[in-house]
Structure formats: C-alpha cells, structure tokens
Amino acid sequence: MLRPRVLEAGRSPDAGVPVSRCVSLTALVDGQRAAVEMVRMKSSSAVVTTMRAVVIHRHGGPDVLTLEPHWPRPVAGPGEIVVEVRACALNFLDIFVREGMPGEPTPLPQISGGDVAGVVHEIGEGVTFPAIGDRVLLNPSWGCGVCEYCRDGIKPRCLRSRMLGERNPGGLAEYVKCPAQQAIRLPDHYAFEEAACLPVTFGTAWRMVVTRAEVKPGDTVLVLGAGGGVATAAIQIAKVMGARIIATASTDEKMERAKALGADEVINYAADGDWDMAVRRMTGKRGADVIIETVGAATWERSIRALGKGGRLVTSGATSGPIGATDIRYLFRREQALLGSNGWTHNELLRVASLAFQGKLRPVIDRILPLEETPAGELALERRQVFGKVVIRPTPTRAA
C-alpha cells in the first residue's frame, strides 16, 4: 500500500480506522459527541507545540507526500482559531497542489486539504465565536475583503482570495488555523466525516446548479462523471430544484448508485462513446437544458453537442485537461451559454449546510483512511477508483 515517507519515528496510527466502500456513519456520532464533551472540560492552556502532518516539500507524484511526525502546530492570532482536525475530505485540488499548478504557484512547504471538520482547540484575541470545544465545519475559502468583488459580496471573484490547502496550510494534519469567521457550527447529531464533504463539492455544485445555471423545475440537467464528488452533489441539488437528471458514469455499479442519488436516466459513457447522441435521443433531439461539466478536455466537444437551444453549460474544472475543441457554430445557432463557476460564497455554503443537516443532501463517502494513507487515497481519486469522497482522519480514533 502506498504510504507517505516518514522522516523520523512518530507515534503509531490507530489500526481500527474503517476502510469501506459502504461507510456507515451513524455509529460514529455518539463517540464524537462524548469526545467533544471531554475537550470542552479541558483547559485551553494545554500546550501542544507539534503535530503530525502530511507535508509537500516539492511538487510531484504521491511519493512527495511526507508524513512529518513533529511539524510545528499553528498558533491562533487575533481573529483566528485553531481546530483539531477530525476529518479532511480529499479533492482533485489536493492533487493539483501536490503536482504544482502553472501560473498559480503554491508556497512550499505546504499542507494540502481544504475540506475540514473538527473541534476548536484554541481561539485568538477578539474571537467571540466559536468557543473552545465547539464542533465546527470550516469554509476553506475567503476573500481579501477590500477588492471591488469582495465589496459586492462576490467572493469567488476576489482578486486576492485565500484557500486552506492551497495558499494557506490545510487540514491534512492534526491541527489547522483559519479566520474565526470561516467556522460553521455543527449540530451534535452530524458526523465530522460527512461535514468534511460539504464545502468543496457541495459548495461548488450549489453555485453551478443554482446560482450560475439557475436550474428550475422541469429543466433537463446532464451531470457528467457521476462518480465524482461534485457530480454526486450536483445530482442531489438538481433533484431538490425539481429537474430531470441524466447522468453519465463509467461502470454499471456507478450508474446504479447515481440512480439511487436521484438520476432519472443514466448513460455508460465507457460502453457508449457517442453519449452525446444518447442524450439527444433521450430528450427528443432537444438536448439538455443544463450541463454540469467538470471533466474538461475529454468531454468538452461532446458536451457542447449534447447541449440544447438556449442551453447553459457550466464548468468548474478540467480534471482531464484544460484544452477542449469548441465548434462555435453550435454556440450561435443554438444560442448556447458557456458559464464558468469558481467556488462558492459563504451564504451558499450556509444553504448547503442547512439542507445537509436536515438530511435533504447526503454526502457520499467511498472510504475513510488514516493520515498515513493519504497517498493511497489521492491515488485512488486520481485513478477514478472511487464513488464519492475519500475522507482522511488525521486524529486517532480515540477522538472520533
């Protein structure tokens, strides 16, 4: 099994972390609640100066992920909090940060991991919420607060945005620091592992489906790559909005799971290379009203062909490559709109969290791994061997 390098001997991981394609989280919540109560009774003055962390010292493959057993623990400054990480969900952004992104230099060394849920360990001067011991979900992205886009409340367009795990050290560690205003309180019944799946996938999907595409009841929405985190979230959100959903997936198993999430019809794109024609057949040659596109080069040309008149293609990623052929004639003849979508606002994430806490949106977790198996988790994600999210649990199970 692929593991990160260990520079020196550290404490041994808990061997009881479950790794499963069908993860039941209900049994975790009682233990989590009891552990949080123990934290509440502890003094905030307990001194913890180092932590375990998966650190990127240079860009490259999974082998550059280094398990540091004694990395300096962050300290809360004014307006900041330090959170003990109970769960950190992986995203393709973690792979991009590890490999290095052209034009977007990542400061090294770096700790990736943006999707974080945990317990507040320390608060800085001036922080009134959250309190030490609170269970929280972190919104990993924030703006500068002073550019014209931030002043208009459009954080995704901020000129100097920040992101945990990209420009700021992230959650693939036992502790993480961020501005206190990024914390969202978790209900006692809600598991850390599910909470960690909400920001990047559901926040991104909400902005794509609701804010940018403006999906309405009766729209036909095509969701590509139904095994991915954003896709599983988009299916559920589009269903909440009253849409008819067509999903593509690479295996029969993923197709069935997409149906269980709310897809009305599914296409095996691995078996049917002309899936764009299949979409047109399913829609009486109209094409889709909305396409949720995160794949990029491998699907772009067919996505435009599958899009109907007046259709909206919304893209938030390019996991297969950034350059896709565009037949411009489709755009003007069908009056199609190509829309970019970048992240989410805090209010959008609050709406997502509210629906999730009510059980109306359900994160899909493929597996839960301990911190030292982060490279194996990233490799499974990169090879598209997962359905839903890979969640890393940095702290031992005593605290879960």
Distance CA(63)–CA(295), nearest Å, equals 25
Token couple for 207: 């902005």
Burial 327-340 (b: 16+ CB within 10 A, else e): eeebeeebebebbe
Q: What is the mean pLDDT of residues 218-232?
A: 95
CB 137 within 8 Å of CB 198:
yes
Compute the CA torsion angle 33, 36, 38, 40 (nearest 10 deg). -130
Q: What is the mean pLDDT of residues 18-32?
A: 49
41 φ/ψ angles, rounded to the nearest 5 degrees: -85, -10
**Residue 132: CA count within 13 A, CB half-sphere:** 15
Give DSSP secondary structure letters for 217-257: TT-EEEES-TTSHHHHHHHHHHHHTT-EEEEEESSHHHHHH
Confidence of residue 399 (pLDDT cuts 50, 70, 90): very low
Give DSSP secondary structure letters for 128-152: -SS-TT-EEEE--EE--SSSHHHHT
Q: What is the mean pLDDT of residues 167-174?
A: 97
Q: What is the mean pLDDT of residues 5-28?
A: 42
CB 387 within 8 Å of CB 364:
yes
pLDDT at position 7: 44
- In the predicted structure, residue 14 carries a pLDDT above the cut 70: no
pLDDT at position 46: 55
Q: Determine the residue type at 24.
A: S
pLDDT at position 32: 57
SS3 328: helix
Confidence of residue 141 (pLDDT cuts 50, 70, 90): very high
pLDDT at position 84: 97
Number of CB atoms found within 10 A of residue 230's CB: 25
- In the predicted structure, residue 83 carries a pLDDT above the cut 80: yes
Q: At what angle do helices 252-261 and 229-240 cross, to 10 degrees?
A: 40
pLDDT at position 395: 79
Using one digit for the tens of pLDDT, what is the confidence trace for 45-80?
Answer: 457 899 999 999 999 999 999 999 999 999 999 999
pLDDT at position 168: 97
pLDDT at position 264: 98
Q: 89 - beta bridge partners?
A: 115, 391
Structure pTM? 0.86
Please tell me the CATH superfamily of domain 202-340, with its number.
Answer: NAD(P)-binding Rossmann-like Domain (3.40.50.720)
Using one digit for the tens of pLDDT, what is the confidence trace for 328-366?
Answer: 999 999 999 999 999 999 999 999 999 999 999 999 999
Please tell me the CATH superfamily of domain 5-197+363-399, with its number.
Answer: Medium-chain alcohol dehydrogenases, catalytic domain (3.90.180.10)
pLDDT at position 44: 44
Confidence of residue 103 (pLDDT cuts 50, 70, 90): confident
Using one digit for the tens of pLDDT, what is the confidence trace for 245-270?
Answer: 999 999 999 999 999 999 999 999 99
Distance CA(179)–CA(367), nearest Å, equals 29
Confidence of residue 315 (pLDDT cuts 50, 70, 90): very high
Cα distances from 85 to residues 276, 385, 399, in angstroms, run 42, 25, 10
Q: Is 262 left (phi over 0), alpha (psi -120 to 50) or beta?
A: left
pLDDT at position 87: 98
pLDDT at position 330: 96
In this chain, the answer to whether the domains covering 5-197+363-399 and 202-340 adopt an identical fold is: no
Token couple for 157: 């367009």
pLDDT at position 9: 36
Q: Among 39-48, 71-80, 145-154, 281-290, whose mean pLDDT is lowest? A: 39-48
Q: What is the mean pLDDT of residues 311-321?
A: 94
Cα distances from 20 to residues 86, 280, 284, 366, in angstroms, run 18, 37, 40, 7
- In the predicted structure, residue 120 carries a pLDDT above the cut 60: yes
What residues contact 292, with CB distance under 8 A and at least 6 apart?
Answer: 205, 208, 209, 213, 221, 222, 223, 224, 230, 231, 234, 238, 314
Provide the residue ranges of all domains of the chain, joining segments of one domain with +.
5-197+363-399, 202-340
pLDDT at position 104: 83
